[in-house]
Amino acid sequence: MIKDRNQDMPGIRTRCAVFGTMLMVTASPVIAAPAERTFAEAFFVARRADGGLEILGSVVIWLLLAMSIFGIGLIVSMAVANRRQTILPDDLVDRIGKPLESGQYEQAIAAADEDGSYFGRVMSGGLRQAPHGYEAMLRGLEQVAAEETTIRFRRIELLNVLGQVSPMIGLFGTVYGMILAFSAIVASGGAADPVMLAGGIGTALTTTFWGLVVAIPALAGYALIRNRIDELTIEATLQAEELVAPFRPSTSEVDS
């Protein structure tokens, strides 16, 4: 009886060893598998190969995200500030033109001063030079037109700065991410382990993505708004010159 039990021991040990091996093989993928990342997390947080937070890469992403929100707000603000009503209001032409036709110059100047639009400022600058003659009026409105146009262009220049700087910040993140990837290769002894490379490459691609997200709308908005300002200010200046045209001296007055 004792002999039979001793003979069965190797078989029991073998079965236990096989069972233990199966448990290890079954459990090892669960332990080694990295935590799954959500779609949102992949675009807003940089991770290291071990799943930890990558501080500098995440800061670059958050900075670009803040710049993106600021850029969209600036585009909306500049579009509203440079719409037709703020540059060449349709009703203001009549409110200034009709008093000029009837010789009520003070009323025309008051209407121009009360309106804060580009056209109102230009007309005010020209009409205040009326006592000095037609040429002085033209110089006055052209000077104000140049100053007001420069101010408007200068305000939207921030969009151009955002569009130029954000790709450079994204490129910084790209280079930093590639440094992380190559450092992982060196640390692993030259073996190209995709898991070790994923953190650095992910940081590089995500920062590049956000740099473009900031730059494309900013540059597009800058170009569209600048063209709109150029178009409306030229139209307003021509309209102002047309209103002061009756002040031009006739040929007989010039000859005398």
Mean pLDDT of the chain: 79
Q: How far is CA 222 from CA 150, 158, 225, 231, 239, in A?
A: 15, 9, 5, 14, 26
Q: With cut-offs at 50, 70 and 90, classify the pLDDT of residue 191.
A: low
The DSSP 8-state label assigned to residue 116 in this structure reads -
d(CA 216, CA 107): 47
Q: With cut-offs at 50, 70 and 90, classify the pLDDT of residue 216.
A: very high
Q: What is the reported pTM?
A: 0.74
pLDDT in the model for residue 1: 44
pLDDT in the model for residue 130: 83
The lowest-confidence range among 18-32, 101-115, 162-176, 223-237 is: 18-32
Q: With cut-offs at 50, 70 and 90, classify the pLDDT of residue 7.
A: very low
Q: How far is CA 242 from CA 111, 113, 141, 175, in A?
A: 17, 19, 12, 57
Average pLDDT over residues 130-144: 90
Q: Is 53 helix (H, G, I), strand (E, B) or coil?
A: strand
Q: With cut-offs at 50, 70 and 90, classify the pLDDT of residue 103.
A: confident
Positive or negative, the CA dihedral 204, 207, 210, 211 is: negative
Question: Closest Cα partner for 225 from 69, 75, 73, 67?
Answer: 75
d(CA 79, CA 249): 40
Instruction: Evaluate if residue 150 carries a pLDDT over 90.
Output: yes
pLDDT in the model for residue 18: 39
pLDDT digits (tens, 9 = 90+) for 53-84: 778 878 888 999 999 999 999 999 999 999 99
